[in-house]
Amino acid sequence: MITINPENKWRRNISKTFWLYTMVALYVIAGINHFVNTATYLTIMPPWLPWPAELIFVSGAFEIFFGLLLVPLATRSIASLVLILLLIVVFPANIQMMLNYIQENNPYKWLSILRLPLQFVLIGWAYNYYKRPALIRPI
């Protein structure tokens, strides 16, 4: 029989809580940044998207709102799912940023290239806090 050391479980919970609040801070700060530095985000919006400024504000609001909804256990799963979808939806902007930086020979072009796989890390991080709803069995 395998027993779990209570101290290890406690450490694991502390670690998971630390990373949860780190993720909350990341999304809230990033969301606020959408409103503070809108001009920067406008430069990476794909040209085929309509209403670029409005989309920046909406994505920033989603990051703040759903970032904060990661805190309560009752809303954590839906918040993590929405943030995963948001990361997928904004991926074209990350591609556009990379293309812009390469075309301009920007010295930070390597950062824009590294940002693409980072999106998958962020998706995995959010998924770590997603819990599938239990199936309801008919009586």
Single out the residue of 119, 125, 106 nearest to residue 67, CA to CA: 125
What whole-number percentage of the chain has pLDDT above 90?
81
Q: Tell whether the model's pLDDT for residue 1 goes beyond 70.
A: no
pLDDT of residue 50: 96
> Domain residues for 14?
6-39+51-127
Is residue 139 in some structural domain? no
- Residue 4 structure tokens: 């779990």
Is residue 115 in some structural domain? yes
Is residue 59 in some structural domain? yes
pLDDT of residue 9: 73
Task: Domain count for the chain, please give it.
Answer: 1
Please list the alpha-helical segments (H only) found in the chain. 6-36, 38-42, 52-68, 73-89, 91-103, 109-127
pLDDT digits (tens, 9 = 90+) for 24-70: 999 999 999 999 999 999 999 999 999 999 999 999 999 999 999 99
Single out the residue of 42, 40, 83, 84 nearest to residue 63, CA to CA: 83
